[in-house]
Amino acid sequence: MTANELPPVEGAPVAPLNIHESAVEGGDHSGEGIWARAWRTLRKNPVAIAGFVIVAVFLVVALLAPLLAPYGAHALPGRGEIRPTLIPGPSAEYPLGLDRYGGDVLSKLIWGARASLLVGVLSTLFGLAGGVALGLLAGWFGGWVDVAAMRLVDLMLSVPSLLLAVSIAAIAGQSPSSVIIAIAVVQVPIFARLLRGSMLAQRGQDYVLAASALGLTRGSVTMSHVLPNSVGPVIVQATLTLATAVIEAAALSFLGLGGGEPSTAEWGRMLTAAQNELAVAPRLAILPGICIAVTALGFTLVGESLREALDPRNRTRR
Amino acid sequence: MLRLVVQRLLLLIPLLLGLSVLLFAWVRALPGGPVTSMLGERYTPEAAARIEAEMGLDQPVWVQYGKYLARLIEGDLGTSLRTGRPVLEEFLTRFPATIELTLVALVLAIGIGIPLGYVAARRAGSVVDHASVVVSLIGVTVPVFFLAFILKYLFAVELDWFPSAGRQSVTMVATHPTNFYVLDGLLTAEWDAAWDAMMHLVLPGLALSSIPLAIIARMTRAAVSEVQNADYVRTARAKGIKASRLRSDHIIRNAMLPVLTTIGLQVGLLLSGAVLTETVFAFSGIGGFLAEAVFSADYPVLQGFVLLIAVVYALVNLIVDVSYGLIDPRLRRQQ
């Protein structure tokens, strides 16, 4: 054993208490923060890369929909070719065939990506904002505010998520924006509870006591110490929620709560329409279904890898 | 044990009161106001006046809420706009169907998920382990109604192995004393009716089981991998305990506690999933009826069903909590 391989001597500088600057693991990365370390782990993880690629592909398709889609979002170019007993399949002109209404399936899938991702991302952002606000309120003030906020959370979680979403969409009316609101509201209690729990766990940590002992106010301890160290699980949850949100958006529009024409270019809506054509043209159900599943898979893979990368138990093991 | 049950039942009261406040406010927030939403297309000035008097809309809000609460306690959850029958009656006639369906789904999920998760953990890195990851991913990423479509298309439309819709074949003549069709067939010794009802449960049950299956398999895998490396398992092994005893008394029993918690939490997901699965398979349970209520803006049904389902959900979680005590003696001693 050479000198530089010796274990650290007693009395040598110990790792700082703040997780931002902690250097539990040796090597060249001793000064890096938790997020930089997570990023480094993610870049080497094939599962994470697969997830990122899937998400990136769908994002690009959604953003470039006007350029990529052969037909417009509401166009029904093949309307004249539809017969009650015949829905033309793939052809040179319509690579994935037509649907019952005479819409080009490929175009509708591309526009559907835009609709689904928009609903998924916006509802998760709103849900996250609402949940973080509520959780922060509870975690910051504690006492009766905490009790009130958590009872509200319990109340919302006492109704199965889809029913809660349906009830909210019923008030907000049948439109894509009401689907966004409904899914966002359903997520609020989940984020709130998670953030509060994670903040409570941080509150008892030594570095928080040390910061308070140094005379920092409650507000600045919360904002600069407790909150940054509590957001990890919330971010992981948000990534996983993107998957759920895309699926729930499809479910709500499958139930007819998204509004608009039955021929709307939206994955869930396409599945509703395909329901009656299952024996004639199963591809009408299979294609949008695969799109929903693969999008959800992309977000899930990213979220799971992120969870693994941020998990302190995996840090020392390598 | 009894004290715990009573305690938990008492905790239900504030929850239900809170929920009733929310639902009370919900009806008033519906587009068109409470009278229009409660009457729908059956709107007549007389009916409107009757509803207004019933709900006491000209009186202060707390009086209105009091009336609503009084009617709830009497079991009056309103009348369905579509069928004209009391909401509670609609719920009770359809609930057995949903119980049958969710039980089949839960049995499939537990029966496959726990062994799968167990083997995956015991043989980490094996084929089974990889299979468990794939199953978990499918359950999390494939929408339950799409899976229902695929199963229906493959096994009902193409292969014709199972019926594609309903709870029982139309041609089947059977008596239904309890509305649990499989049980009815067994009770009345109409074996073919019981078998027919079972066959109708397979595909929707399988579709619905995908969500809890994924979570149960994953949870079991995580719990078993943690427990099998625990000090007490190592000690037991060192003492020379028989492998089968180590497995059943030391590993499985300890690993099941977190799994049981997750199973309790699945019931909410199952009820959400039932709405979609029952719609795809035209299975006449509360889920399918609820979806139709959404389509036809049958708000009294929506309002009543949300409350009733929340009660069911809470009761199931109570049962799960109480059963911890039965499994984990440490919790029993604490009380």
Q: How confident is the model at residue B26 (pLDDT cuts 50, 70, 90)?
A: confident
The verdict on residue B273 lying in a domain is yes
Helices B2-29, A161-172: crossing angle, 10 deg rounding: 20
The verdict on residue B163 lying in a domain is yes
Query: Minimal Cα distance from B315: which residue of A?
Result: A158
Query: Minimal Cα distance from B27: which residue of A?
Result: A171
The verdict on residue B305 lying in a domain is no
- Distance, in Å, from the CA atom of A296 to the CA atom of A312, rounded to the nearest integer, reads 26
| Residue-wise pLDDT tens digits, A138-163 | 877 778 888 888 888 888 888 888 88
User: Is the pTM higher than 0.95?
Assistant: no
What is the model's pLDDT at position A29?
55
What is the model's pLDDT at position A9?
38
* pLDDT surpasses 70 at A5: no
All residues of chain A having their beta carbon less than 8 Å from the beta carbon of residue B316 are none
- Domain holding B254: CATH number? 1.10.3720.10
Cβ-defined contact of A155 to B145 (cutoff 8 Å): no
Say if residues B293 and B301 touch (Cβ distance below 8 Å): yes
All residues of chain A having their beta carbon less than 8 Å from the beta carbon of residue B305 are 163
* pLDDT surpasses 60 at A16: no
Interface test with A, best of B145, B160, B316 (most A CBs within 10 A): B145
Closest by Cβ to B302, choosing from A167, A274, A279: A167
What is the model's pLDDT at position A3?
38
Instruction: Tell whether A282 lies on the interface with B, counting CB pairs under 8 A.
Output: yes
Q: What is the DSSP secondary-structure string of B275-296?
A: HHHHHHTT--SHHHHHHHHHHT
- Chain A nearest-CA distance from B31, in A, is 6
- Chain A nearest-CA distance from B263, in A, is 14
* pLDDT surpasses 90 at A129: yes
| Residue-wise pLDDT tens digits, A196-247 | 888 887 777 888 888 888 888 877 877 777 877 778 888 888 888 898 898 8
Average pLDDT over residues B135-139: 85
- CA distance readout (Å), B293 to B9, B69, B87: 30, 23, 11
Say if residues A264 and A288 touch (Cβ distance below 8 Å): no
All residues of chain B having their beta carbon less than 8 Å from the beta carbon of residue A257 are 294
Interface test with A, best of B30, B132, B141 (most A CBs within 10 A): B141
Domain count across chain B: 1
All residues of chain B having their beta carbon less than 8 Å from the beta carbon of residue A243 are 140-141
Total beta-carbon pairs less than 8 A apart between chain A and chain B: 119
Cβ-defined contact of B141 to A289 (cutoff 8 Å): no
All residues of chain B having their beta carbon less than 8 Å from the beta carbon of residue A173 are 31
| Residue-wise pLDDT tens digits, B234-283 | 888 888 888 788 877 778 878 887 788 778 778 878 888 888 888 888 88
C-alpha B163 chain-centroid distance: 23
* pLDDT surpasses 80 at A84: no
* pLDDT surpasses 50 at B82: yes
The verdict on residue B43 lying in a domain is no
Say if residues A131 and A189 touch (Cβ distance below 8 Å): yes
Helices B286-295, B253-280: crossing angle, 10 deg rounding: 50
Cβ-defined contact of A151 to B142 (cutoff 8 Å): no
What is the model's pLDDT at position A174?
77
**ipTM of this complex prediction, to 2 decimal places:** 0.80
The verdict on residue B44 lying in a domain is no
Range of the domain at B142: 95-286
The verdict on residue B85 lying in a domain is no
All residues of chain B having their beta carbon less than 8 Å from the beta carbon of residue A163 are 271-272, 275, 290, 305-306, 309
Q: What is the 3-state secondary structure (H, E, C) of chain A?
A: CCHHHCCCCCCCCCCCCCCCCCCCCCHHHCCCCHHHHHHHHHHHCHHHHHHHHHHHHHHHHHHCHHHHCCCCCCCCCCHHHCECCECCCCCCCCCCCECCCCCEHHHHHHHHHHHHHHHHHHHHHHHHHHHHHHHHHHHHHCHHHHHHHHHHHHHHHCCCHHHHHHHHHHHHCCCHHHHHHHHHHHHHHHHHHHHHHHHHHHHCCHHHHHHHHCCCCHHHHHHHHHHHHHHHHHHHHHHHHHHHHHHHHHHHHHCCCCCCCCCCCCHHHHHHHHHHHCCCCCHHHHHHHHHHHHHHHHHHHHHHHHHHHHCHHHCCCC
All residues of chain A having their beta carbon less than 8 Å from the beta carbon of residue B165 are none
* pLDDT surpasses 50 at A91: yes
- Between positions 160 and 179 of A, the ones with CB within 8 A of B are 160-164, 166-167, 170-171, 173
* pLDDT surpasses 50 at A317: no
* pLDDT surpasses 50 at B88: yes
- CA distance readout (Å), A149 to A156, A201, B20, B313: 11, 18, 18, 21
* pLDDT surpasses 70 at B9: yes
What is the model's pLDDT at position A313?
63
What is the model's pLDDT at position A6?
38
Cβ-defined contact of B149 to A250 (cutoff 8 Å): no
Cβ-defined contact of A271 to B146 (cutoff 8 Å): yes
Cβ-defined contact of A285 to B140 (cutoff 8 Å): no
CB crowding B286-321: b at 16 or more within 10 Å, else e: bbbbbbbbbeebbbbbbbbbbbbbbebbbebbbebb
The verdict on residue B335 lying in a domain is no
Lowest-pLDDT range of A5-9, A205-209, A272-276 = A5-9
B223: which 2 tokens? 């719990």
Q: How confident is the model at residue A18 (pLDDT cuts 50, 70, 90)?
A: very low
* pLDDT surpasses 50 at B46: yes
Closest by Cβ to B141, choosing from A154, A167, A300: A300
* pLDDT surpasses 60 at A134: yes
All residues of chain A having their beta carbon less than 8 Å from the beta carbon of residue B19 are 155, 158-159
Closest by Cβ to A171, choosing from B26, B141, B295: B26
Q: How confident is the model at residue B332 (pLDDT cuts 50, 70, 90)?
A: low
Instruction: Tell whether A292 lies on the interface with B, counting CB pairs under 8 A.
Output: yes
The verdict on residue B49 lying in a domain is no
Listed ranges A203-212, A232-241, A277-286, B2-11; the one with the highest mean pLDDT: A232-241
What is the model's pLDDT at position A24?
43
Closest by Cβ to B149, choosing from A170, A173, A285: A285
Interface test with A, best of B30, B137, B146 (most A CBs within 10 A): B146
Q: Is B330 left (phi over 0), alpha (psi -120 to 50) or beta?
A: alpha
Cβ-defined contact of A251 to B157 (cutoff 8 Å): no
What is the model's pLDDT at position A294?
92
| Residue-wise pLDDT tens digits, A21-53 | 344 444 455 566 777 777 888 888 888 888 899
Average pLDDT over residues A54-78: 82
Average pLDDT over residues B15-37: 80
Mean pLDDT score of chain A:
78
